[in-house]
Chain A
């Protein structure tokens, strides 16, 4: 019995003393990185790495502030190690929420960059990734925040909440982008950010999406194009926006809010010329009216509806044309859908999908249902009230 007790004690002591405190780090012994920006390096180095770190003041009044650390390196891992030499505390990536890749760096390929983020155990797989448009990624971290001093968290909010208010946006999480790059027959799209001016201040704004050919940047779509892309990919969210020019008068517009939308895509690959029939079924609510329609009359609504359908189809065709001729990227994931629906057929087209995609005939049929006109029936009839 005594032997057993002594043995047990030795085991316990070993377990606790030899292992030490496994991973014990005091919460204030580390420096939280909130965001990463990656650009093409200077002086022949491959990357220019900027990391936004949060500094916490001793007293509550000092508050929380953010600083950006920068370095040039050949690999990102090396860069992070270099930056740790600059800080007194260990850099911790558990609360890192965004990664911005510069336009130029994105043109060289993003696969290796995302690989680092997925390989490191500290970085979350749900890291939000964005591409900077027309500026360096570093500049985005250096713009002035309006509500929070930490820019990376502002970008996180922008991409996760604000995006919904302006219609669909592609998924931005690192692991989803990684999956998308790896899969065949679909081009990756990542949200793009740019710096705009508001009252002579540099302010961050969403700028549609960046389109990738494999992992290399091929071009950008603007905000409206992004919305139409979401329509075609059946990913438009509630409260997406449609704006229509009323044909007779070029200055008058109608705005609609998307209430519900469903897109069906029918692939016809048996014929000589492969074709795709896309049907978009949308319910919309009138959001803003500049004309003088009376929406209590069915014929007036019908007129607006046709206008809307025509307008949408035109925009869809434009987007498809741009994807097929200029970008030459299957942003609609038609290849991926073919792979799912008809794997044998995909085998035939697989090797030359880029060439085939150009030739695929894409027809869009739009059906709009106007479900409401807001909480107002008519419109303001200037000076006509009897």
Chain B
């Protein structure tokens, strides 16, 4: 699909200024010079606070603290850094001043020394306090991060009937903590890195070292290393840049907002990538069946869970097929409709000015508009939308003979079944319209051809070297234990097949 390449403009030489890692200056022994160096980096930045102070007993011990207003815990700076240094009696100006301050004066749990200006700048940006001391060519970095973040709440997009009600927030450290509390083992690895040449967003790759497939991990790192983008505001930036078969409508990387889901995926040998600033966490590899798995499938009785799971799969198939099959039946294969139904369809279609396909397209598009409006509009005018949607489009359009009554039912069922699987929404809409067109041109044959095509595409997909439809396409019953039905926990003794190491889940 080289057509899509046209979206990208001709490659231009990137302008490197503004990116980090370009500071050539070095810290010197003189405090005033050092202050100048730091101030020069953050020139025209009003939020940077520069606080000079000195020790009461030895006025030669001069210090200067730099921090960003709002990103730090002011109380900690006052009480743990400035006050102790001012009042300290053990300080004197010599070569050990820095060591003394670090070990004897500053009451903080995270204190480091750095001579690298790049590191200093980066930590400053992440909410640390930089302490410069006269006569020393290095800076002390003290962790004083403290900003307002959203409270932990249940994610709206992934509600569960039972089970944990917590969801990730925008703060990566909180998120990692939530995961750590689910899996308490040194085997759980957190590899930090940053994304975005200008945004310098913190990220963390998490996996269970003894379970993860090293090939998957290496491949993930290889792809992540290739990313060169100015900023990442959500995990989807990364997902789209590293996913297999990037133009496929099917997701090959999972995204979740629930720590319990992430923990479950890590326990199956997957890798998770956390990104600061977003409650969404990606997991890979991602299989087709995961589109239909919900967290409470595992928390509820397996009969109930299996019914829910099969309904979700059925819902997906219905949602993509119903408009296409309705058009194929009424316009090509009228003999396949039971006679009495055919007569009532005929009756309701009598006097409707549009061909079935146009009617169907119109209604489907109107529904998609209503759905999109529902997301975008302020929630206070939701009632107006439902009145207009239900009354005008449903009832009045039928009474006015603009559309036939069965079409309203068809679109309604399509819409409802389309909402059952939010994870595969994009593919559902795309497939629904493609199948509708195929059925309009060639009837059930067209529908069948396109379905076969979709199946071939699905079977050829891979996610980080794992076949996308594995588990679902297996003949071995032990491998389909967690697909259309969810087997009781008693019998789910092994992890999914794609995972190569320590496959035994429970004895």
Q: Which residues of A contact B (CB under 8 A)?
A: 1-2, 5, 15-16, 19, 21-28, 30, 32, 54, 56-58, 60, 64, 92, 94-95, 97, 122, 124, 153
Beyond A23-B332, A23-B443, A122-B335, whether A64 also contacts B343 by CB under 8 A is yes
The smallest C-beta distance from B477 to any residue of chain A, in angstroms, reads 40
Q: In the assembly, what is the distance between CA of A58 and CA of B347, in Å?
A: 6
Residue contact A27 to B349, C-beta cutoff 8 Å: yes
Q: In the assembly, what is the distance between CA of A153 and CA of B343, in Å?
A: 12
Residue contact A27 to B339, C-beta cutoff 8 Å: no
B426 touches A (CB below 8 Å): no
Residue contact B343 to A30, C-beta cutoff 8 Å: no
Residue contact B342 to A27, C-beta cutoff 8 Å: yes
Nearest to A54 among chain B residues (CB) is B343
Residue contact A64 to B440, C-beta cutoff 8 Å: no
CB neighbours of A21 from chain B (8 A): 331, 440-441
Residue contact B349 to A24, C-beta cutoff 8 Å: no
CB neighbours of A60 from chain B (8 A): 347
Nearest to A31 among chain B residues (CB) is B346
B2 touches A (CB below 8 Å): yes
Residue among B3, B342, B343 with the most chain A CB within 10 A?
B343
* 9 A-B pairs in the complex with CB atoms less than 8 angstroms apart: A1-B2, A2-B2, A22-B332, A22-B441, A24-B331, A25-B331, A26-B349, A56-B350, A64-B347
Q: In the assembly, what is the distance between CA of A12 and CA of B332, in Å?
A: 21
- Other than A26-B355, A28-B352, A57-B350, give 5 A-B pairs with Cβ distance below 8 A: A22-B443, A26-B330, A26-B331, A94-B334, A95-B339
Beyond A64-B343, A94-B334, A124-B335, whether A28 also contacts B440 by CB under 8 A is no
Q: In the assembly, what is the distance between CA of A27 and CA of B2, in Å?
A: 41
CB neighbours of A56 from chain B (8 A): 343, 346-347, 350
Residue contact A28 to B441, C-beta cutoff 8 Å: no
Q: In the assembly, what is the distance between CA of A91 and CA of B334, in Å?
A: 13
Residue contact A95 to B334, C-beta cutoff 8 Å: yes
Nearest to B446 among chain A residues (CB) is A22
The smallest C-beta distance from A27 to any residue of chain B, in angstroms, reads 5
Identify whether the interface residues of B are mostly helix, strand, loop, or mixed. helix
B311 touches A (CB below 8 Å): no
Residue contact B442 to A22, C-beta cutoff 8 Å: yes
Residue contact B335 to A27, C-beta cutoff 8 Å: no
Pick the contact of A92 from B334, B343, B356 — CB < 8 Å? B334
Residue contact A97 to B339, C-beta cutoff 8 Å: yes
Beyond A27-B346, A32-B342, A97-B339, whether A58 also contacts B351 by CB under 8 A is yes
Across the A-B interface, give the 5 residue pairs with the lowest CB-CB distance, nearest first: A94-B335, A28-B349, A27-B330, A1-B2, A56-B347
B345 touches A (CB below 8 Å): yes
Residue contact A5 to B3, C-beta cutoff 8 Å: yes
The smallest C-beta distance from A330 to any residue of chain B, in angstroms, reads 36
Nearest to B445 among chain A residues (CB) is A22
Which residues in window 329-378 of B have CB below 8 A to A? 330-332, 334-335, 339, 342-343, 345-347, 349-352, 355-356
Nearest to A97 among chain B residues (CB) is B339
